[in-house]
Amino acid sequence: MAGFEKFKNALKKAEEERHEELQQDIRKVRNVIEKVLSMAMENTANVARTRYSGLEMF
């Protein structure tokens, strides 16, 4: 039974490591998406300022 416990512990450790790796990947993807969205919104705002110059008064 000691071998089985070692196996269970090793499996649990591997799952925890994989989970942490996935969390890091998720953080990276979220940062990229936030950056892309902010760039897109900034571009949209610049286009609106160019096309509708009086809009900034409001």
Report residue 20 as tokens: 């942490």
Q: How far is CA 25 from CA 12, 18, 39, 52, in A?
A: 20, 11, 21, 40
Higher pLDDT, 20 or 1: 20
Average pLDDT, the chain: 88
Q: Are 49 and 56 in contact (CB under 8 A)?
A: yes
pTM of the model: 0.64
pLDDT tens readout for residues 10-31: 999 999 999 999 999 999 999 9
Q: How far apart are CA 43 and CA 58, in angstroms?
A: 19
